[in-house]
Amino acid sequence: MQPVHASRTGNSSLALLHNSLHGSFAQALKSFAASTAILAASAVFAQAPATETPAIQSAPSTTDAASTPASTSTQDTQAVAPRTPIHTAIAQADPYVRDFNDHVTILSSPWMEGRLPGTRGMERAMDYMESQLKAVGVGPAFQPSDGSAKTYRQPFSLGGKREVTEESISILCGATTTALLVGTDFKLTSLGGDGTAEGAVAFVGYGLDDGPDGYTSFAAEHSLEGKIALVLRFEPMDGEGKSLWSGGDGWSGRAGFAGKISAVAKRKPAAIIVVNTPGANDPRVSSLTTGGGRAMSDVPVFMMSTAAAEQLVTLCGSTQTLMDLRTLADAPTTTTPRSFDLTNATGDAAKISISAKSETKPVLAENIVGVLPGRGALAQEVIVIGGHLDHLGQGDFGSREGPGKLHPGADDNASGAAGVILLGDMLTKAYAEISAETPLRTVVFIGFSAEESGLNGSRYYVEHPIYPIKDTVLMMNFDMIGRVMNGRLAVTASTESGMKEWYEPIYARSPLTVVQSAGRGGGGSDHASFQAVGVPILFAICADFHADYHTSRDTLAMIDRETSVLAVNLWRDLALDMAQRPARFEMESNTGPMRAQAMKVRAGLRTRDSDDDTGIEVVDVSKDGSADKAGILKGDKIIKWNKQDLKDRQAFVDDLRTHEPGDKVQAVVLRDGVEMTLYIELQGVPATP
């Protein structure tokens, strides 16, 4: 077990608790007040250590001990560690460790619903951060134009969210109408638009125009206009349900939604139903979820279960089964048309009635911004201290394990938001103790929103600052400081003249091991918005990423409260010194012609610009390279890189030049019409012999 650093008191009961419980965790969110202004919580816990530790059983209860056989070995008895009462450990902990625990406990609780912008949980999280800044004496930043009381809120638009108001599918067979069940039999997707229609069912196989060896799903004389197109998911398969076109390794690029929906939609159907293909060797055939994605058609696009599609095919007395239709579509060559209207034995056409209605509701997000005023000659200059407050909700996007589970985001980034609150308390008290004659810079504390969806909150603040952005002398960002394993904190800094000489002596006084990175690497967090407009930055994050990042496993149980507070203490020391430093940092001037920075990493893929300027297309993936290990496939389109929209290949190459081997980058790829978030660990460029 790695030693736990002592906190301010130098005698931490929480450290003893780490050692005594060896990884056991007693969950205990006891109660939350219903107030929307100040949330109260009582938390009792035994924290799992942040370093890998052999699993040792906690001491048994009295009841357990009484029932233990007398033959229990001495070795087993010696393996039981003594226990410290949890309430005693909390009561005796460093006050800032207790405060940090309270903040992370509340912000990562189920009541916050994963802190997705636009949700009730995010509203509660914003209420909490606002109330805590107010409680420690950090004032509100904004004066509304109507003259009402100042506010901590900085609202901005995140565009619109489509909400389905009506979705129905009914099968019409003579005088019989059979309504299918929403959520069980079918679901309206975001891949199409709204509409109502009634028409014949036209089977169009896999909906593919241009397969190998002249393969096509469409009969030349078969019209889809005004009909309901029934399309199989994926692409032609073998008897084991695996692709015939990918060489046995997953699916080829033709299996995605984009190509087939485009091919079907241009033939003007009234609606498109994508069917989960029977026998496909893919777990997605049991789900109606497409994972979101952009609209690819103006007509409604539904997903339908295999069972419901079977019912549709056979309901009117047809002798063909859904598997018969798949077999026809799978055939490499056939003299029978692969697309045709579905009819029964007497030639009567099956019909479907569909309805799809939705409305787009605006989504607003808000940064929480507080101000600690400076004084004297430095008061007009600003230090920004921030960390993002939002997370992924139920894994709605950006999740590494898919949607449907609560993503608490304890480390990412309840830990950073808690650090910002603690710094509000620390610096407010420190400013009060410094002589009134000492000039001090103004400090702005920000809980950013919508960082996970593309640094939206920080970018909005930079474009709408409360003080001129030219007067911001330093931006200090916290993101994931809750699991600083082995005391290793990674800090990225700008290369402004004098910065390194300033911060290194302060780093040296910290009990943490500061892993330094200079330049523009690690841009996937809110400091990047400030760096882009010339503001010097410091960015702190755990040096050793954990596998729970962007999953439901990023929980309170894993947070190392004490080491987190050591990171906060380092930020406090840096901020206090910068607040009083007479000179600001200046950008280094460039002399001579600009030269491209040497590439230190490789992504392991070949790309080309997309035709619509909305990303770059992957044309090849190197085996065992960075992209291959991350799960990127040939045919994917990368639409976001490092949390920024990716417009062309040059932007991709420019960003790669900023990275070091081992950096982890978030990429959003479009595959099968579905946006997927993948995480790439960049490999180094081999040394030249």
Which tens digits make up the pLDDT trace of 222-271?
999 999 999 999 999 999 999 998 876 678 878 888 888 989 999 999 99
Pairing of strands 139-140, 351-372: antiparallel
Mean pLDDT of 192-216: 92
Output the CA torsion sign for 488, 489, 495, 498. Answer: negative
Q: Is the pLDDT of residue 594 over 90?
A: no
- Contact status, residue 291 vs residue 303, Cβ threshold 8 Å: no
Mean pLDDT of 502-528: 85
| Separation between Cα atoms, residue 441 and residue 494, nearest integer Å | 20
User: Mapping DSSP to helix (H, G, I), strand (E, B) and coil, where does residue 558 land?
Assistant: helix
Give the model confidence (pLDDT) of 89-108 as tens digits: 878 889 999 999 999 999 99
How would you class 5 by CB atoms within 10 Å of its CB: exposed for 0-12, middle for 13-18, buried for 19 or more? middle
Give the pair of three-digit tokens for residue 247. 């060489």
User: In this predicted structure, what is the pLDDT of residue 636?
Assistant: 86
Of the chain, the percentage scoring pLDDT greater than 70 comes to 83
Residue found under tokens 């009961």 = 13
- Contact status, residue 37 vs residue 151, Cβ threshold 8 Å: no
- Contact status, residue 264 vs residue 339, Cβ threshold 8 Å: no
User: In this predicted structure, what is the pLDDT of residue 597?
Assistant: 54
Query: Which stretches does DSSP call E strand in 174-287?
Result: 176-179, 186-188, 195-203, 228-232, 271-275
- Residues 6 or more apart whose CB falls under 8 angstroms from that of 175 comprise none
Q: Is the pLDDT of residue 350 over 70?
A: yes
> Residue 634's beta-bridge partner residues?
none
End-to-end CA distance of the chain: 41
Q: Which of 170, 231, 165, 224 is nearest to 198 (CA)?
A: 170
Least confident among 209-218, 410-419, 565-574:
209-218
Which of 361-375, 629-643, 664-678 tops mean pLDDT? 361-375
Q: Which of 324, 315, 314, 251 is nearest to 281 (CA)?
A: 251
User: Mapping DSSP to helix (H, G, I), strand (E, B) and coil, where does residue 489 land?
Assistant: strand
Give the model confidence (pLDDT) of 44-55 as tens digits: 333 333 333 323
pLDDT band, very low/low/confident/very high, at 296 (cuts 50, 70, 90): confident
Give the model confidence (pLDDT) of 519-557 as tens digits: 544 468 999 999 989 999 999 999 988 889 899 999 999
User: In this predicted structure, what is the pLDDT of residue 186?
Assistant: 97
- Contact status, residue 461 vs residue 511, Cβ threshold 8 Å: no
> Which helix (DSSP H) or strand (DSSP E) does residue 476 occupy?
strand 472-478
- Residues 6 or more apart whose CB falls under 8 angstroms from that of 411 comprise 480, 481, 482, 483, 542, 546, 548, 549, 554, 558, 559
User: In this predicted structure, what is the pLDDT of residue 34?
Assistant: 32
User: Mapping DSSP to helix (H, G, I), strand (E, B) and coil, where does residue 30 land?
Assistant: strand
User: In this predicted structure, what is the pLDDT of residue 635?
Assistant: 83
Q: Is the pLDDT of residue 35 over 50?
A: no
- Contact status, residue 269 vs residue 202, Cβ threshold 8 Å: yes
Residue found under tokens 């799903």 = 217
Q: Is the pLDDT of residue 487 over 80?
A: yes
> How far is the CA of 125 from the CAs of 52, 79, 364, 389, in angstroms?
31, 42, 15, 8
**Where is pLDDT greater, at 423 or 297?**
423
| Separation between Cα atoms, residue 328 and residue 469, nearest integer Å | 64
User: In this predicted structure, what is the pLDDT of residue 51?
Assistant: 35
Pairing of strands 195-203, 340-341: antiparallel
| Separation between Cα atoms, residue 602 and residue 621, nearest integer Å | 12
- Contact status, residue 466 vs residue 445, Cβ threshold 8 Å: no
Least confident among 281-295, 516-530, 589-603:
589-603
User: Mapping DSSP to helix (H, G, I), strand (E, B) and coil, where does residue 387 land?
Assistant: strand
- Contact status, residue 461 vs residue 154, Cβ threshold 8 Å: yes
User: Mapping DSSP to helix (H, G, I), strand (E, B) and coil, where does residue 370 land?
Assistant: strand
pLDDT band, very low/low/confident/very high, at 673 (cuts 50, 70, 90): low
| Separation between Cα atoms, residue 305 and residue 276, nearest integer Å | 6
Q: Is the pLDDT of residue 13 over 50?
A: no
Q: Residue 657, Cα to own-chain centre: how many angstroms?
A: 24
Instruction: Assign residue 659 a region (left: φ > 0; alpha: ψ between -120 and 50; beta: otherwise).
Output: beta
Give the model confidence (pLDDT) of 99-135 as tens digits: 999 999 999 999 999 999 989 999 999 999 999 999 9
Residues composing the chain:
689
Cα angle 383, 389, 391; round to 5:
145
How many other CB atoms sit within 10 Å of the CB of residue 64?
9
Residue found under tokens 């005088």 = 175
Q: Looking at residue 636, what DSSP letter applies? A: -
Peptide bond into 413 cis (omega under 30): yes
Residue found under tokens 């059983």 = 57
User: In this predicted structure, what is the pLDDT of residue 45?
Assistant: 37
Q: Is the pLDDT of residue 668 over 80?
A: yes
Give the model confidence (pLDDT) of 413-436 as tens digits: 999 999 999 999 999 999 999 999
Mean pLDDT of 180-192: 94
How many other CB atoms sit within 10 Å of the CB of residue 220?
7
Q: For the chain, which domains are there?
A: 113-156+363-580 (3.40.630.10), 175-347 (3.50.30.30), 601-684 (2.30.42.10)
Q: Is the pLDDT of residue 177 over 70?
A: yes
Cα angle 571, 6, 418; round to 5:
40
Q: Which of 336, 329, 342, 333 is nearest to 208 (CA)?
A: 329
| Separation between Cα atoms, residue 229 and residue 426, nearest integer Å | 64
Give the pair of three-digit tokens for residue 285. 């055939």
Mean pLDDT of 454-482: 95
User: In this predicted structure, what is the pLDDT of residue 510?
Assistant: 97
State the pTM of this model.
0.71
Mean pLDDT of 479-507: 93
Characterize 155-182 residue by residue with b for buried, 16 or more Cβ atoms within 10 angstroms of its Cβ, and e for exposed: ebebeeeeeeeebbbebbbeeeeeebee
User: Mapping DSSP to helix (H, G, I), strand (E, B) and coil, where does residue 446 land?
Assistant: strand
Phi then psi dihedrals of residue 387, to 5 deg: -165, 145
User: In this predicted structure, what is the pLDDT of residue 256?
Assistant: 83
Mean pLDDT of 637-649: 83
Round the average pLDDT of the chain to a whole number and report it.
83
> How far is the CA of 414 from the CAs of 252, 368, 477, 681, in angstroms?
40, 14, 13, 24
Least confident among 75-84, 298-307, 487-496, 680-689:
75-84
Give the pair of three-digit tokens for residue 231. 């399309």
User: Mapping DSSP to helix (H, G, I), strand (E, B) and coil, where does residue 561 land?
Assistant: helix
Q: Is the pLDDT of residue 60 over 60?
A: no
Please give the torsion angle defined by the CA atoms of residues 505, 506, 507 and 508, in that order, rounded to the nearest 10 degrees: 50
Q: Looking at residue 315, what DSSP letter applies? A: T
Q: Which of 297, 352, 309 is nearest to 673 (CA)?
A: 297
Q: Is the pLDDT of residue 209 over 90?
A: no
Q: Is the pLDDT of residue 592 over 50?
A: no
Q: Is the pLDDT of residue 442 over 60?
A: yes
